[in-house]
Amino acid sequence: MAKQGLYSNIHAKRKRIAAGSGEKMRTPGTKGAPTSAAFKESKKTAMKKGGKVTKKLSDRQKKMLKLHAKPHETPEGKTVAGHSSKHMKAMKVMMEHGMSFSNSHDAAMKIIGK
């Protein structure tokens, strides 16, 4: 059986957590947490295998990413500062892999932080 990729592992862990496994996603910088280099390598590997990595983002998705980098209002009505370039790059990569905006944001918050 072939080794599973980074995104496959992330999705599998989320599924186990949703099912009540008691596991938690690792915080950025902790031992065993994926690094930004791991995400870049995952993208390269998927492209070599002919994976659907280079999904073009819609104009709406591009606009949402651009607005999200600046100070903005949350759904709860709080105004927050824009996110770091690392956070935004991680979100873009995840969205190119087919992840929704909100899921990519949540994952980037857990992996990279603000």
- Whether residue 49 is predicted with pLDDT greater than 70 in this model: the reply is no
Contact 110/25 with Cβ under 8 angstroms?
yes
> Among residues 81, 79, 95, 111, which one has the least CA distance to residue 10?
111
Task: Determine, yes or no, domain membership for 1.
Answer: no
Domains in the chain, number? 1
The pLDDT of 46-64, averaged and rounded, is: 71
Task: Determine, yes or no, domain membership for 98.
Answer: yes
The pLDDT of 43-47, averaged and rounded, is: 66
Task: Determine, yes or no, domain membership for 53.
Answer: yes
CA distance 25 to 33: 8
Instruction: Out of 14-28, 32-46, 67-81, 96-110, pick the least confident.
Output: 32-46
Name the residue range of residue 95's domain. Answer: 6-111
Task: Determine, yes or no, domain membership for 39.
Answer: yes
Task: Determine, yes or no, domain membership for 72.
Answer: yes
